[in-house]
Chain A
Amino acid sequence: MALLEIRDVTRRFGDFVAVDGVSLSIGAGEFFTLLGPSGCGKTTLLRMIAGFDQPDAGSIEIDGKNTVGVPPEERNVHTVFQSYALFPHMTVEQNVSFPLRMSKCPQAELAPRVREALEDVSLLGMEKRYPNELSGGQRQRVALARALINRPKLLLLDEPLAALDAKLKERMQLELITLQKEVGVTFIYVTHDQEEALALSHRIAVMNKGKVEQLDQPATIYGFPKNRFVADFIGECNLLDCTVSAVTDGTMILDVEQLGRVVASGANGTTAGTKGALALRPEKVSIARELTAESCVNRFNGRIFDYLYTGDVTLYIVEVDNGRRVEVMLPNNAVGRSSKFFEPGDAVQIGWRDDAGSFLPD
């Protein structure tokens, strides 16, 4: 039995549907992520799980028990708020022991359990500090320790790393993974940052406009997006509008606008005449002055139109002879001072394997 069972949950604000018929089933011990652009209803869904808001339709079950009418303080669910919401008038120790004191935990147990909780998040020695004497990362850890100290069934995290700088964010991501494994609590993690979602999660639900667009493991979400929205939202992606012109033995011939004929595998059930898009990740496209790789069944000539240098990789925008622009990613692994391979205007060939992209029917 799933730990959290969400069935057809809908939440409206006036005419606006913030959460639209969402169903999710989340197992014990899972690191589950709700990923979607700002305003897609992630926080609203989380607030309903925590008990701060009620669904207009559908049901939420925790441990097989319907949660209707159960207030937040009686749910075995804790939240780490984006602002951390640490109590400014309490020390770290008092903040962390707050849930224990609310549940009338015996006085003698407080100190050892606070110690243990602070050890989990490597904050020993900070007991007497106040929140305004801590750095952003330390506050984050206090919020985690406080939410985990009485081992809730479910921990909800609403964009907990959004306020941290890039380096610290990366470190906290690693710590979160370790912490989740250690404590074994089910995490439901909300973020609009796709890289973070891919890095952390066992499973991801990609949300858009209140609906779940795709629910899968990170590699599946990234490698086999189900539709244009997911392909576009997760990572960089070329979305090439096309029509299926022929299907043979599970292989499709696609007629791509402003590009030409493209061979693609994985036809499963698609019929000729279907319109859609070919989703092609920039790193799956090869680029060279002259392509030699035999495996690139799809090859096109073009010129470098522009590029975006980001240090480790360069994203080239190649304009093929028929006019379509394709993004191609290349690691900057050339030896020597100049690590870029091409300049705008250079004539190049691009190509990809038949299984490099996926066809998304409209």
Chain B
Amino acid sequence: MSPRAQKWVISGPPLGYLLIFFAIPTFIMVLASFRFAGEFGGLAPLVGTGNPDELSGLTFENYQRFFEDTIYLELFLKSFIYATVTTLLCLGVAYPLALMIARSDKRWRELLVLLVILPFWSNFLIRVYAWMIILGPQSGFARAVNGVLGTFGAEPIPLLYSPIAVIIGLVYVHLPFMVLPLYVNLEKHDPALLDAAQDLGAGAWQRFWKVTFPLSLPGVYAGAALVFIPALGIFAIPDILGGTDGILIGNVIKQQFLDARDWPFGSVLSMVLTVLAILFAGLAAWVARHQRI
């Protein structure tokens, strides 16, 4: 086989995969965002039949609509804030957990990793519904929280159907996606580096901030991307736990496709979301590269 042919054999399958599962759907979505909505949902034809009442062809109308009303940009901003808070909280919870697993006895590590991914074995929606029960006003958890608040003289707060519930749900669902890349990274660290740092005068705190944390940044970026990007577009959790003003941009996109049956406008919102996600993934990759790790 010629080197040229070899190159194609090796890079062909991943390229084909990207083409089928990313490039083509994206292209369809881009195209849809410039088309008219069909009379009964779906898309209007690209090439008209000559009937003057029928809409056909391409238009900027959908994008105009997006920029005319600030509600959509506000929803993007809100989703962005939720996703950022979720990512930071996931990092805060996942880092000690991943570190503990990575430094535990080799015999236990695989079991502990298994426990982290165990929730994937039951249905996502069921797990989110379970939080409805945990956060519901009659639950022991809600009563305990409000009991504590009461002792400080604060008014009781509803946990369910609140931003707190959405954030808890988002953090809970995305936690494994932060733990796993962090664990994979931390587990590879050469323990001799920590010995060396300690030997050269670094206390426990300095060993963490000067050695462990900087070396774990690729894992932090990977985990952040895996949490931030899906959290940006999620709709099921705000639907179930968020109540009436809990919606995020993902809910609007879902509504456009399933309820309003306005595919072109749903595509516009999806396009903006995709571009934002790619920008963040690119930013994470760029930062990771320039940290040189």
Contacts and interface: CB of A to CB of B under 8 A. Distances in A.
A85 B201 contact: no
B10 interface: no
A85 B199 CA distance: 11
B215 A88 contact: yes
A80 to B, nearest CB: 9
A78 B211 contact: no
A52 B196 CA distance: 11
Interface in A150-173: 150
Contacts of A83: 190, 192
B198 A72 contact: yes
A103 B293 contact: no
B192 A81 contact: yes
B112 to A, nearest CB: 25
B74 interface: no
A81 B200 contact: no
Nearest to B192: A85
A78 B215 contact: no
Nearest to A52: B195
16 contacts: A50-B199, A71-B198, A72-B198, A73-B198, A73-B200, A78-B199, A79-B199, A81-B195, A85-B190, A85-B193, A85-B196, A87-B193, A88-B193, A98-B197, A102-B206, A146-B200
Contacts of B293: 88-89
A104 B202 CA distance: 11
Contacts of A99: 200-201
Interface in B248-293: 291-293
A130 interface: yes
Contacts of A87: 193, 196-197, 210-211
Interface residues of A, number: 23
A26 to B, nearest CB: 18
Given A87-B211, A88-B215, A89-B293, A73 B193 contact: no
A102 B196 contact: no
Interface in A79-133: 79, 81, 83, 85-89, 98-99, 102-103, 130
A89 B196 contact: no
Interface string B74-94: 000000000000000000000
Given A79-B196, A85-B192, A88-B215, A130 B201 contact: no
A188 interface: no
A87 B207 CA distance: 11
A85 B211 contact: no
Contacts of A98: 197, 200, 202, 210
Nearest to A98: B200
A99 B196 CA distance: 10
A4 interface: no
A248 to B, nearest CB: 58
A147 interface: yes
Interface of A: 50, 52, 71-73, 77-79, 81, 83, 85-89, 98-99, 102-103, 130, 146-147, 150
Interface in B195-247: 195-203, 206, 210-211, 214-215
A81 to B, nearest CB: 5
B247 to A, nearest CB: 42
Contacts of A150: 201
A89 B199 contact: no
Given A83-B192, A85-B195, A102 B215 contact: no
A50 B197 CA distance: 12
Given A79-B199, A81-B196, 20 more contacts: A52-B195, A52-B199, A73-B200, A73-B201, A73-B203, A77-B199, A78-B200, A79-B195, A81-B192, A85-B195, A87-B197, A88-B293, A89-B291, A89-B292, A98-B197, A98-B202, A98-B210, A99-B201, A130-B292, A150-B201
A356 to B, nearest CB: 46
A26 B292 CA distance: 43
B196 A73 contact: no
B195 A89 contact: no
Nearest to A103: B201
Nearest to B201: A102
A98 B196 CA distance: 10
B199 A72 contact: yes
Contacts of B202: 73, 98, 102
A223 B233 CA distance: 79
Interface-centre pick from B200, B210, B293 (highest chain A CB count, 10 A): B200
Contacts of A102: 200-202, 206
Counting from the closest, the 9 A-B pairs by CB-CB distance are: A85-B196, A102-B201, A85-B192, A99-B200, A72-B198, A79-B199, A102-B202, A89-B214, A73-B201
B218 to A, nearest CB: 10
B100 to A, nearest CB: 21
Contacts of A81: 192, 195-196
A294 to B, nearest CB: 59
A86 B206 CA distance: 16
A146 B211 CA distance: 15
Nearest to B293: A89
Nearest to A147: B200
Nearest to B203: A73
A77 B200 CA distance: 8
